[in-house]
Amino acid sequence: MKHVKLEERIVKIELTPIHVPFKEYVAKALEETQGGLGMAIPSEDEWLGGDFVICKLITNEGTMGLGDAFVWLPESGISPEQIIHSISKGLSKYILGESPFNTERISRRMDSNVTRNEIPKGILDMACYDLMGKITSQPAHAFMGGKCIDEIPLTALIPLADPLMMKGITRSFLKKGFKTFRIKLGKGIQEDYEIAKIIREYIGPQIRLRTDYNQAYNPTMAVKAINKIEQFEIDVAEQPVRANDYAGMVYVQKKVKTPLMAHEGQFSLQDIVSLVKMKAIEVIGINTERPGGVTNAIKALNFAERLDLGVVLHNQPLGISSAMTIHLAAARFHSLGHAIELFGHEMIEDDLIIKPLNYEGGTAKIPEGNGWGVELDENALEKYATGETIELKI
């Protein structure tokens, strides 16, 4: 291990908005799915790729830590430009000049001075963990509890489409070695039943199955829809009602045996605590940037473990956030109870890292190296940038 320079301070932030298109075959496949989105969200805009912000935190010694955030307005309610504005006009003053090791202090200062804004906070917190690893020549999972597993089982995402198309996509991932599947539902109670029946009969009883409704139903209909498919042994039903309908989630969870999970309606630690206390969910969903980066993700995992709740780590990120999720899963695997969902590498045409992550056999291997163990592809960053890089300095 090199000499640990704990005196290193963050002196510069660089933020770049980017858009990375879907792979050509993904874009063509989505054209044949529900609303052209592969899900039940009634968005009027085309979904042609991913919008992201790439964050660099740079210390006085020149060490650089990386973070990124995937956003989509129908789900996240925030754009790359808004993330950059939130950081440049508010959050930056609570991290510039700080040691990246002071994650708790940074988190509390950001929360005390800027309400909500979990995604901008999360991207900054994420980059601190990469910095800590690089400063100390250690992998990032060393700061999350240490590695307890070498390969992380993955979940395959099946978009909402014609049942035969969904079966075909399932077949391809089954051949790759996936042992957990998440199917998008929300077409209608009978249509959902037919899809779940086809998929369960095809994959057999040993493969785990979860569903995602993307807010498709009102509470009464959601109960009917979930009860209709419970015979197919559903692990988790994600966001069956509108994102802001916490009372509706409570109503549904009381009426069904399947554990519910919130996504579009859950951003902060307080959201998680409120949903659990209300008995609206029995599984906690954690994104790479929600509920506010690694520091809050660890708190959420500790909370879930104390209450014996399942956890799903899930997102469609680039290589940086994918590496973060893998490190977090490696350190806290026994707290999860569910395979993680990483699907950016399947959908997005470039993950913006030099050496691709290893996803062979339906699992994710932990990248080797310091911090996240990945290197940003600067040429790709320039290629996909949708605006100028914003630099913030002390």
Q: Token pair 């990469």 is at which residue?
A: 130
Asked whether residue 173 falls in the same domain as residue 313, the answer is yes
d(CA 131, CA 327): 14
d(CA 351, CA 358): 12
| Pairing status of strand 363-365 against strand 151-153 | antiparallel
**Residue 386 maps to which CATH number?**
3.30.390.10
What is the domain count for the chain? 2
**Residue 208 maps to which CATH number?**
3.20.20.120
Asked whether residue 98 falls in the same domain as residue 236, the answer is no
**pTM for the full model?**
0.96
- Token pair belonging to 346: 């399947």
Burial readout 44-80 (b: 16 or more C-beta within 10 A, e: otherwise): eeebebbbbbbbbbbbeeebbbbbbbbbbebbbebeb
Give the pLDDT score at 5.
53
In a domain, 2, yes or no: no
In a domain, 1, yes or no: no
**Residue 367: is the preceding peptide bond cis (ω within 30°)?**
no
Sequence-ordered list of residues with C-beta below 8 angstroms from that of 377, at least 6 positions apart, any chain? 350, 352, 353, 354
Q: Are 303 and 273 in contact (CB under 8 A)?
A: yes
The SS3 of residue 161 is strand
Asked whether residue 309 falls in the same domain as residue 383, the answer is no
In a domain, 52, yes or no: yes
Asked whether residue 27 falls in the same domain as residue 111, the answer is yes
Asked whether residue 61 falls in the same domain as residue 159, the answer is no
Asked whether residue 256 falls in the same domain as residue 159, the answer is yes
Asked whether residue 221 falls in the same domain as residue 297, the answer is yes
Q: Are 289 and 126 in contact (CB under 8 A)?
A: yes
Give the pLDDT score at 7.
85
In a domain, 128, yes or no: yes
- Which of 95, 122, 171, 178 minimizes the C-alpha distance to 292? 122
Give the pLDDT score at 6.
57
Burial readout 241-256 (b: 16 or more C-beta within 10 A, e: otherwise): bbbebbebbbbbbeeb
Asked whether residue 61 falls in the same domain as residue 202, the answer is no
Asked whether residue 57 falls in the same domain as residue 126, the answer is yes
- Token pair belonging to 27: 């874009």
d(CA 326, CA 124): 18
Asked whether residue 75 falls in the same domain as residue 153, the answer is no
- Which of 80, 142, 83, 135 minimizes the C-alpha distance to 294? 142
Give the pLDDT score at 125.
98
Give the pLDDT score at 279.
98
In a domain, 313, yes or no: yes
- Which of 348, 339, 287, 342 minimizes the C-alpha distance to 19? 348
In a domain, 5, yes or no: no
Give the pLDDT score at 1.
45
Asked whether residue 32 falls in the same domain as residue 124, the answer is yes
- Token pair belonging to 58: 């740079």
Q: pLDDT digit of tens for each residue in the chain (394 aa)?
A: 445 555 899 999 999 999 999 999 999 888 888 888 899 998 888 889 999 999 999 999 999 999 999 999 999 999 999 999 999 999 999 999 999 999 999 999 999 999 999 999 999 999 999 999 999 999 999 999 999 999 999 999 999 999 999 999 999 999 999 999 999 999 999 999 999 999 999 999 999 999 999 999 999 999 999 999 999 999 999 999 999 999 999 999 999 999 999 999 999 999 999 999 999 999 999 998 899 999 999 999 999 999 999 999 999 999 999 999 999 999 999 999 999 999 999 999 999 999 999 999 999 999 999 999 999 999 999 999 999 999 999 9
Which residue segment(s) compose the domain that 30 sits in?
A: 10-137+376-393
Q: In 10 A of CB 351, how many CB atoms?
A: 23
Give the pLDDT score at 12.
98
In a domain, 306, yes or no: yes
- Token pair belonging to 69: 């955030």
Asked whether residue 168 falls in the same domain as residue 271, the answer is yes
- SS3 readout for 267-323: CCHHHHHHHHHCCCCCEEEECCCCCCCHHHHHHHHHHHHHCCCEEEEEECCCHHHHH
In a domain, 251, yes or no: yes
d(CA 37, CA 39): 5
Give the pLDDT score at 3.
52
